[in-house]
Every structure is written in C-alpha cells, then in structure tokens.
Structure 1
C-alpha cells in the first residue's frame, strides 16, 4: 500500500509542478491536469488517457523491465527526483 501511494504521488508531480508554474502556464491544478491528460481535448479524461502517463511512468521506473517495481527502483527514482529538485533550487528558471 505504501508503495502504491508513493507511485501515485510521483506520478502526479508533473501536474503539480505545472499548476505552480509562472505566468502563461495553467492557473490551477485542474487546468494542468486537463492539459496534460486530455489527449483528444474533448474536455474529458478517459480511463485510457488517465492511465497512459502512469503506464509510461511505470515503464520508466521498472529499470530491469521485470514487470514489477522494487524498493531499489523506487529509491533510484526518489534520488533522481531529489537531485532535480536540488538543481532547481540552485538554478531557478531565468537565473542561470
């Protein structure tokens, strides 16, 4: 259950980041959610549209391609995420 929660949170990070983006970007999390997931732009997110990025995320996280994500793979993703966040803190957009 804990791993499921971690995976869900990790999969939402792009939408959360977009919701907090500067001017010209989505104004709310719901707008970011729709922009990212409503592939056919019909104003609704189908199950297939919703699952597509999660399936891609799973594939990216499953480093050894055994069809399962183990603790080491989750820790590797967490490490990459922390490194990206540290880099963003050190070099915010526009100040490089």
Structure 2
C-alpha cells in the first residue's frame, strides 16, 4: 500500500492522471480484496463511471494531493480508526459535487 501511495504521489506530481488512477485503485484494492465481499466489486463496477469522472477532476488538480496525505494517515492509523479514515477519503470526492453547485 505504501508503494501504491508513492506511485500515486509521483503520478500526481507529474500530472499523469491515468497513472494516479491506477495507483489509487491499487491502494484501495487492498481493502476491497480484504473485505472478501463479492457485492463490493459489483457495486464499484456499476458506480465506477461516475467515480472516475470525479477522480479525474480531483487528480487533475492540486486538490488531488490531499488524497496522498489521507492515504498516509490510513497507513499510520490504529486498526480501529482505518475504516473511518477510508470512508472519509472516499467521501471527499463528494466535496467536488458540492463545489460544482456553488
């Protein structure tokens, strides 16, 4: 996960949105796999076109760098705090929706 977050940070620094998406997928994929819940990948597959639009918007701007910090906090967190931090990271995409209506 650290290596994925490093790749993510480098991709954002270089403005490579596709590489950032791949690294972000690798980071979060660990949780999806660990959950061992077949419904999660199905749900993500259904929602991914919408999620990708938000991620491309975020990762193509300076605000994407906040995700690198959030990922680092997830990696350092106590096990009981990880789920909440991952949730906050995912929900931060919703802020893009809110801003688009301002």
Structure 1 or 2, whichever has the larger Rg, is 1
Relative to the length of structure 2, the TM-score reads: 0.41
Hey, which of these two has a bigger chunk of helix by percent? Answer: 2
With normalisation by structure 1, the TM-score equals 0.43
Higher RCO structure (Cα 8 Å, ≥6 apart): 2
